[in-house]
Amino acid sequence: MSDAKTDPNRIMLYIISDSVGETGFNLAQAALAQFPQIKPIYCRFPFVNTDSKLDKILDQAKADHAIVVHTLATKGLAAKITNFCEQNGLVSFDYITPLLTEVSKRTGLTQTYEAGAVHHLNARYFDRISAMEFAVLYDDGKDPKGFLEADVVLLGVSRTSKTPLSLFLANKNIKVANLPLVPQAHIPDELWKVDPKKIIGLTNDPSVLNNIRRERMIAYGLNPDTTYSDMDRIKEELKYANELYKKLGCLVINVAHRSIEETATIIMESLNLDTYENN
């Protein structure tokens, strides 16, 4: 921790939450991503719901001269952090209280002060679990029947992020089935019965795909120069996939240089599926 004090490119952030702390952590990461030359140190403190727990953490933050980020709903704790930081020369960011205050002001309602309220085991939560089970069950075209039940059907050649994208969307309560595409392979009859608007064709740049496949073979301790990573073979696979997408009339997304989150956002916006998470 002493490195953060002496190295200007080492920033220490204390992320304090009375729940799991994902919101504060994600926001802090998003901000620090704008400074790639900085090596942030994230110190996460979840389930902080008492004065005694908070006091110990704040004393540590003072010793480390950390930036304090917090998302506390428990009554009184956010104000305590603000006061402590002001008195001890620390910088703090309250990611939730200003919004709670404004909502209360506009509606005349009082917040519940319940930590982790967003993580209730309600119907939405169990829908998410169901969607994740669906994604696993119908991964890699295991059962074509899933295409007819899915909210989204992902198509793509090997290493176009079908499985991680399926699981990411499932975490948004979206039921996803996916099918790997291989030239000359049989296309299930069920796919032609799916509304083209629900089908997403994933593609990639040949050079990017070549690098990904070579790295995958190396990771397995195998020769990277195989048919799987051959450039001519890759171009053939992508051509086959793109021709199929044209026949289906589906949306095509090039995942080269795109994160899973970016691709998922394009899919949800194109199909108006962003409302699923809020149902």
Which string of DSSP letters, residue by residue, matches 177-241?
EEEE--TTPPPPGGGGGS-GGGEEEEE--HHHHHHHHHHHHHHTTS-S-SGGG-HHHHHHHHHHH
How many residues does the structure list for the chain?
A: 279
pLDDT in tens, 50-90: 999 999 999 999 999 999 999 999 999 999 999 999 999 99
Residue 74 assigned to a binding site: no
Q: What is the per-residue pLDDT across 248-277, written as a single tens digit (0 to 9) for each? A: 999 999 999 999 999 999 999 998 875 444
pLDDT value for 276? 46
Q: What is the pLDDT of residue 120?
A: 67
Q: Please indicate whether residue 199 or residue 1 has the higher confidence score (pLDDT).
A: 199
User: What pLDDT sits at residue 158?
Assistant: 96
The pLDDT value recorded for residue 6 is: 60
Lowest-confidence segment of 19-28, 98-107, 119-128, 200-209 by average pLDDT? 119-128
Annotated binding-site residue? 162: yes
pLDDT at 11: 92
Fold designation for 2-119: Rossmann fold (3.40.50)
Average pLDDT over residues 187-202: 97
- The answer to whether the beta carbons of residues 203 and 253 sit under 8 Å apart is yes
Instruction: Categorize the per-residue pLDDT at 5 as very low, low, confident or very high, splitting at 50, 70 and 90.
Output: low
Q: How far apart are CA 220 and CA 161, in angstroms?
A: 18
Q: Tabulate helix, strand, coil % of the chain (nearest 5).
A: 50, 15, 35
pLDDT of residue 121: 61
Give the CB-side neighbour count of residue 51, counting CA atoms within 13 A. Answer: 5
The answer on pLDDT for 119 being more than 80 is no
Lowest mean pLDDT among 37-41, 116-120, 169-173, 245-249: 116-120
* Predicted structure pTM score: 0.75
| Residue 160 among known ligand-binding residues | yes
**pLDDT at residue 206 in the model:** 97
Three-class SS state of 73: coil
Residue 1: pLDDT band with limits 50, 70, 90: very low
In CATH, the number for domain 123-278 is 3.40.50
pLDDT score at 74: 92
Q: In the chain, pLDDT over 70 holds for what percent of residues?
A: 94
| 2-119 and 123-278 in the same fold | yes
Task: Specify burial of residue 266 (Cβ count, 10 A radius: 0-12, 13-18, 19+).
Answer: middle
In the structure, what pLDDT confidence band is assigned to residue 279 with cuts at 50, 70 and 90?
A: very low
DSSP annotation string for 75-100? TTHHHHHHHHHHHTT--EEESSHHHH
161 belongs to an annotated ligand binding site: yes
**Percent of the chain with pLDDT strictly greater than 90:** 85
pLDDT at 123: 74
Q: Is the pLDDT of residue 3 over 60?
A: no
| Domain spans, the chain | 2-119, 123-278
Give yes or no for residue 209 having a pLDDT over 50.
yes
Report how far residue 240's alpha carbon sits from residue 223's, in angstroms, rounded to the nearest whole number.
26
Pairing mode, if any, of strands 251-254 and 199-203? Answer: parallel
